[in-house]
Amino acid sequence: MTDGIILIDKPAHMTSFGVVARIRRVLSREQGKKVKVGHTGTLDPFATGLMILVIGKECRNAGNYSKMDKVYEATFHLGQESTTGDPEGALTDISDIVPTREEVDAAIAQFRGEIEQRPPIFSAIKINGQRAYHLARDGKEVEIPLRTITVHSLDVIDYNYPELKVRTHVSSGTYIRSLAVDIGKVLGTGAYCTQLRRTQISTWSIADAKKLEQFGITD
């Protein structure tokens, strides 16, 4: 392939840029020349699931794909908070409160529809030309403005304290880590995201994605 898109099922513990680099290496080797490859929206290293990679001339349309709605399945851990909102951060015990299922459902209901959300400080958002995560890692104070997002649906898949599993259909620009933190604050328990899997981008499904092993990539 020299132009078009490739659907990839990103494994855990790999950056989105790492996925792009590996696919670029394989395609460039096959074509005997450097092939341009880009992504249309990052997934955190701990996350898995659907990525749309743009190849060759299709790279010019990357922005169109990044604006599309997405569907995620996630697991939130109640009772603690993480400095990054995910398993990679430092954890702090917040509460041993065990919310009832009714309380969880009531909290979840507050996050459906059009809401305001503050992205995590450990994110790729630029603040005065610098990535927020670079500033945060340097110990600098980071203030990220609220943004308006749309949560089209948010449903509980399973709840067995301290684990809360959800499925959500959201607009572009939504941070599931922030959703976990905000739900934890409403419940009074604290929360962070331990598992995250993107299963759909617009009409493209994870069922149609290829694993890196199918390209001969094992590292």
Please name the residues in contact with 102: beta carbons below 8 A apart, sequence gap of 6 or more. none
* The three-state (H, E, C) secondary structure of 143-183, written as one string: CCCCEEEEEEEEEEEEEECCEEEEEEEECCCCCHHHHHHHH
Based on the residue annotation, tell me whether 9 is a catalytic residue of this protein. Answer: no
Both structure tokens of 93: 């015990």
How far, in Å, CA of 8 to CA of 51, rounded?
5
Both structure tokens of 116: 């305001």
Please name the residues in contact with 23: beta carbons below 8 A apart, sequence gap of 6 or more. 6, 8, 37, 53, 212, 215, 217
Choose the catalytic residue: 9, 44, 86, 182: 44
How far, in Å, CA of 132 to CA of 120, rounded?
9
List residues with catalytic annotation: 44
